[in-house]
Chains A and B, each alone.
Chain A
């Protein structure tokens, strides 16, 4: 199985700041990567698919980039409603595997 290493595990940032979360795959996943946001007690929400495509309805301050084994999620101009956990999923190779998540808090 492809291993997904996500970093950092936790992150504290100020309102208006730009935040970057990374996922590294153990082998090339050819942009088969999605990012999700999950708030406590809520269902995960799809943010990004195919590494850099913004899901319908997701604010444009979220963006995804990367290729090969290295991918990142960037949040521009952090808002209070962005406080959540974020995790990645690779779906290029069977079975799908996930990163361990990043907990984003306000400083």
Chain B
């Protein structure tokens, strides 16, 4: 069974970087598919943030392009989100998910991790 699990600090100070890990079990992230980060703000608005492909290429939401980086560690079957220069508006629940190739809907999601940006 494919499972994704997010982890990382629940509290980040403004202007610092937010770093999260998505650990994948049941499927090797280099075997196929694209691997995404999505966030859900208080009030329920959701935003697709970006993905890293099975080959290691990345694609980011233009709204975040200057602040976001998605990388991976294939030996640990993990991928990562780094969001720089955070503000209180980055407070959200962050999800990792698997993107269906060529269709771009998500067939597996993690449970999400809540991150609060506050001093």
Contact = CB atoms under 8 A, between A and B. Distances in A.
A106 B102 CA distance: 37
Interface residues of A, number: 21
Nearest to B5: A43
Given A49-B100, A95-B61, A95-B62, A44 B106 contact: yes
B105 A34 contact: yes
A96 interface: yes
B41 to A, nearest CB: 10
B111 A49 contact: no
B44 A96 contact: no
Nearest to B50: A95
Contacts of A55: 107
Contacts of B100: 49
Interface of A: 32, 34, 36, 41-46, 49-50, 55, 87, 89, 91, 95-98, 100-101
